[in-house]
Amino acid sequence: MKRTVDVNIPLGPIHPCFKEPARVKCETKGERVIAAEVELGYMKKGIERIMKGRPWQEVMFLAERVCGICSVIHNMVYIEAMEQISDIRVPPRAAYLRVVANELDRMQSHLLANFSYCYTIEHETLGMYLLDCREQVMDLLERLTGARVTCAYIIPGGVRCDIHKEDLTFMLEALTRTEHELLRYTGMFETGPMIALRSRGVGVLTPEAAQQAHAVGPTARASGIAIDRRTEHPTYRILGFTPVVRHDCDNYARIMVRFDEVFQSIRLIRSALNGLPSGIIRGGGTCKAGEVRYSGEAPRGELTYIIRTDEYGRVAEIEIQTPSIMNIEACCHSMIIGADSIADVTSAFISADPCIACTER
C-alpha cells in the first residue's frame, strides 16, 4: 500500500515523559499521526530462563523482581499457583492480610500511573499532590510488610508477619485521611477545564478495538469491557467485589477508572481490616510436583503464571504472561492512530500505563 508520509518521528528511548525505555516510532502527515510502532528490547533480562531449575524459594524472589511497581501481585500469583499445585490451605487471617497488601500495592501503582499522566499533560501541581498521596500509601505498605518495594510478604501457606493492633487502627485512620485528600484531587481532575482539553476525546479505544487487541485491566475497563480476575478470587468474593467500568473510551476514562479503583481498594482494605478473622497466619505445607495455570489481577490487568514443578519443589518450567504487552498493542494500533499532535501520542501512551520491565522481563 502506498502512503504519503511527511516525517518519521521517533520518541524515546530516553524521553522526559517515559518512566522506562521504549521507542515509539510515529509516521506523521502534517501534525496528524497515521501510524505508530512500539519498539521494545531495551530491558530483556531473561528472568524466565534463570528461573528454570531453581528451588521455589529462589524463584519467589525472582518473581517479585519481574516488576518493581506491582511486586506484591507477582509474589501473590506465583505463591497461589504453588499452593494450588501442592494443596496448601491458607488460614483465613492470612488470606485477608494478602488482600490488604495487594490492594495497598494497587493503590500506589494507580497513583503513580496517574501522576505520570498528569506530568505528561504538564499539570505538575496535581501530579505532585498525587505523588504525596502515594508516599502515604507507601508508608502503610511499609508498616504492614516491612519494605516499600519488593517486600516478599506472601509465602506458601500464609504471610510473613502479622499486623499489630495499634497498626490496624493507625492504618484505618490513615486510609480515611488519604481518601479525604484523594476525593479533592479527583474532583480537581474531573472538573479541570484544561485537563479536559488534553484528555477528553483523546486516545479513543473503542470496545471492538479493545477486544481485538485483547486489552486488559483499566485500559479495557475504560472501554466498557468488564473483565477483572478478582471476581474469581475466593477472598475477594467474600469481601464483595464488582469491577469498575466506564464507557468514555478515552484518556480521561482510563485515568478516572484508576481513581475509582483506588477508592474501591480503600473500601476493600477497610472491610478486610474490620472483619479480620483471628487465628494463625501461617499454616505450613510442602511444595510438591505438579502443573498449573493460574491468573490474578495485576494493577495493569490479567497476570498469568504457568508453572510445572518436580517432586523436590523445583520449578522445571515457568511461563509468565504479563498484561502490558496487550495494552501496548492496543495503544499503537488504536489509541495513537489519528492523534492530532505528537503531544497527544505521549499522553495516550502513558494513559495506558505501559510497564516495559514487566513486558520484556
Partner 1 sequence: MSFLQSIKNKVRSRSIHVSYVDVGACNGCEIEVRACLAPRYDIEQYGIYVHNNPREADVLIVVGAYTHGWEEKLAPLWEKIPDPKAAIAVGNCPISGCCFNRRGSYIDPPVSRHIPIAAEVPGCPPRPTEILNAILSVRDSVFANWEAEHR
Contact residues for partner 1, defined by CB under 8 A: 13-16, 19-21, 41-47, 49-50, 61-62, 65-69, 71, 112, 128, 131-132, 134-135, 138, 148-150, 355, 357-358
- By beta-carbon proximity to partner 1, the closer residue of 148 and 200 is 148
As a whole number of angstroms, the distance between CA 195 and CA 58 comes to 45
Long-range contacts of 7-12 (CB under 8 A, 24+ apart): 9/342, 11/342, 11/345, 11/346
In sequence order, which residues have a C-beta less than 8 Å from that of residue 19 and are 6 or more positions away?
116, 356
Strand partners, 307: 292, 318
CB of 251 or CB of 359, closer to partner 1: 359
Residue 323 phi/psi, 5° resolution? -75, -30
- β-bridge partners, 62: none
Spell out where 12-120 has E strands: 23-29, 32-39
In the 3-class helix/strand/coil scheme, how is 229-275 assigned residue by residue? Answer: HHHHCHHHHHHCCCCCCCCCCCHHHHHHHHHHHHHHHHHHHHHHHHC
**Cell representation of residue 52:** 528454570
Decide whether 58 or 310 has the Cβ nearer to partner 1. Answer: 58
d(CA 360, CA 246): 29
CB of 358 to partner 1, least distance (A): 8
d(CA 12, CA 44): 17
Nearer to partner 1, 52 or 164 (CB): 52
**Closest distance between partner 1 and the C-beta of residue 135, in Å?**
5
Residue 52 Cβ, how far from partner 1 at the closest point, in Å?
Answer: 8
Rank residues 72 and 90 by Cβ distance to partner 1 and give the closer one: 72
**Among residues 35 and 152, whose Cβ is nearest to partner 1?**
152
Closest CA to 155 of 104, 88, 92: 88
Q: From the CB of 131, what's the least distance to partner 1, in Å?
A: 4
Please spell the DSSP secondary structure of 97-131, one letter per residue.
HHHHHHHHHHHHHHHHHHHHHHHHTT-HHHHHHHH
Widest CA span of the chain, in angstroms? 69
Report in angstroms how near the CB of residue 144 gets to partner 1 at its nearest: 17
Closest separation in Å from C-beta 142 to partner 1: 10
Smaller CB separation from partner 1, 134 or 254: 134
Q: Which is nearer to partner 1, 84 or 150 (CB)?
A: 150
